[in-house]
Structure 1
């Protein structure tokens, strides 16, 4: 039986892994799977070698205290792959973990496909040479990535961005309002501080202060927080004294229902930088992007970063569609001002939504859904290896 080993290091990778498994099974029901993931991959019948929540690390200073544990988990993953001898290893995002695993597996002669190109084009272009030594093919999500990796001699496939099949634009606003007794006069705003403990703990106090300021200018403002399991307790504690009893939700369907309710009522979003900005764009929700990291990490990143924008929406549109408030500019006052603007001015909201349409138009692969294109590329890698 053909065995595919999939290694995902965080919640977003778990979702990608689950969709990929489903798309692969649709083409080849005989396939077998193993790997590291979370609840979504488990739903597809692939239990995880260990709890992937241990890998929810970020930033240089945040990783250092756990470096020995991280090395042990890498060793466990490599040992499992070496024992099973899969026909292909698919590593998904989380390059700090997955590419270290890939590097140790590559000498075993197992083909390695990395799903979600590491953003070396953004901040460490020199590292692309090392990447060539770790993987056999990269599945890219963004249209400008293939030329960068092809120039370095790495086979690459543009599969389109999975946000396009996320369902972020297909929620039920009425169901959400009924479930949470949301009044007609209330203005829900989506708040997404991140799915990693370190980033959430850093952003939640700032977000809370920003919402208190915004609530003074926007009557009926009601925060809605989609909560990742790994940060659920942290979010509940931090949001307990926020204005207007924040609504905490769990699960993909509830999150998309919340998006629909926010979009329908002319709401907005306050989110950390990342893929969530694309989710907001798909859902048609004007938003502000925020981020703050350890001062040492920020100083290092500033020396390395090579792109003009943090938001993927802005990168795709090649202009600032979405306001970005990063590091020293990530203050309650600055966030509140950017959040309130589309809530009070329909023209500001309309301009953002027009920019969303422009940006998202670049994310579609030539054929099929992203997960389907990724499945085809993985099967091709197996055939090429044989």
Structure 2
């Protein structure tokens, strides 16, 4: 069996490697070519070129590198057509993946599987119809996504979310973390302002004001901020000006210990203030109640606000079919109501605890590994399941 598989960023490399491992367990003689990072190469991939050459994010960066990206798209499509694989699997990165798929389908009948469904349930639903012209099957991370893809004419399999496989800190880890940072038995609030410079610069002043308000209401509350590596210097500088500077977990200083320290911080916290995104699922996996807040530039706020099809953007709310997680998006991202919501959640977290547990169950916790489910779905789509 010959599989051509592509990924363009670390999260996709992780998904791709897990899927490859699942395929190897079922088809020992499977051969992999494509594009990937260290994890996929470790599973036996021969990468056409370094994965980071197609890791582009945002409209501005895509336009700046459009010539190089377009050349890599053509090169990849030519390599796929020449290889004649049994299946092409593209992992996330739709700006690259779906353009490659379109070129491949125009000149061959190679089966195309796309891993990670686009968020057509939230905005731009016509993307599914356009995608169906050159994608045969979609592997979805969220349980409510298949009907949207199937309505456009594609097979879609819910395979589970990788968050359910992530390791969690235990009681001993939490106790050691509290002792290491002299937290004692104090309640802890986790502050998560995002991982991109644009969102951190916009959210940090708001979050700093929230921290000051919380400290006034709850002087016993301690604050911990695990900084993302790309924005660690920026976070350190911005937080220094807060009325109540948090304990910043800095990946530059912690190195390889950062992941374990972050897990312990999540588990040790009683409540979290988080930027919108998949971090809400990480918090749910750790059982940490939260409030979500996010803002963007005026133009993006206006455009996205008009295009949104859902009344919540928090995945815990969507998956659990509740509205247990308070969220403050766009114009609503103001310190006073955010602080009030955090105090309320801190005092009465039970509704969220139940919603988070239901979310993890629905995402596949306790069931087969998502990589195994994805591999099985690919083989069934090929008639080899």
TM-score range, shorter chain: 0.7 to 0.9
Is the CA contact (8 Å cut-off) linking 1:61 and 1:296 kept in structure 2?
Answer: no
Task: Determine if contact 1:226/1:255 at 8 Å carries over to the other structure.
Answer: no
What are the equivalent positions in structure 2 for 1:182-193 lying under 5 Å apart?
182-193=182-193
Q: Deviations over 1:291-319 (max 9, x none)?
A: 22332222222222111210111112333
Contact preservation (8 Å) 2:292, 2:326: yes
How far 1:372 moved relative to its partner? Answer: 0.8
Number of equivalent positions: 377
Taking the aligned partners of 1:354 and 1:302, their CA distance within structure 2 comes to 29
3-state SS, counterpart of residue 345 of structure 2: helix
1:29 and 2:32 aligned? no
2:328 matched to which residue of 1?
325
Superposed CA deviations along residues 219-239 of structure 1, whole A, max 9, x for unmatched, are 352323152x44455445544
Pairwise CA distance, 1:113: 0.8
Partner of 2:282: 279
1:65-109 CA distance string (max 9 Å, x none): 554454344334434434544332222223233222222222333
Q: CA RMSD in A?
A: 3.3
Residue 308 of structure 2, aligned match among 272, 293, 305: 305
Q: Which residue of 2 aligns with 1:246?
A: 248
Contact 1:170 1:256 (C-alpha < 8 Å) held by counterparts: no
Q: Distance in 2 between matches of 1:254 and 1:223?
A: 13
TM-score by length of 1: 0.83
Give, in angstroms, the shift of residue 120 of structure 1.
1.1
Deviations 1:196-242 (A, max 9, x none): 45444443444344334434444352323152x44455445544555
Note the 1:1-386 alignment, pairs <5 A: 2-46=1-45, 49-52=49-52, 55-58=55-58, 60=59, 63-107=62-106, 108-168=108-168, 172-177=173-178, 180-218=180-218, 219-225=220-226, 227=228, 229-241=229-241, 243-249=245-251, 254-255=258-259, 258-264=262-268, 266-343=269-346, 345=347, 347=348, 349-364=349-364, 368-383=368-383
Contact 1:10 1:55 in 2 (8 A): yes
Deviates more, 1:327-336 or 1:311-320: 327-336
* Greater alpha carbon shift after TM alignment, 190-199 vs 279-288: 190-199
Distance in structure 2 (CA, Å) of the matches to 1:216 and 1:76: 59
Write out per-residue CA displacement over residues 160-190 of structure 1, whole angstroms, 9 at most, x where no aligned residue: 2222222246683234445x43431554433
| Alpha carbons of structure 1 residues 34 and 88: separation in structure 2 relative to 1, 3 Å | same
Task: Encode CA deviations 1:23-68: one digit per residue, 9 max, x unaligned.
Answer: 222333333333334444345454752343863413x567545544
Which structure is larger by alpha-carbon Rg, 1 or 2?
2
Distance 1:252 1:356, change over 3 A: farther
Structure 2: distance between partners of 1:253 and 1:290: 28
Give unmatched runs, 5+ long, in structure 1.
none
Q: Secondary structure at the match of 1:207?
A: helix
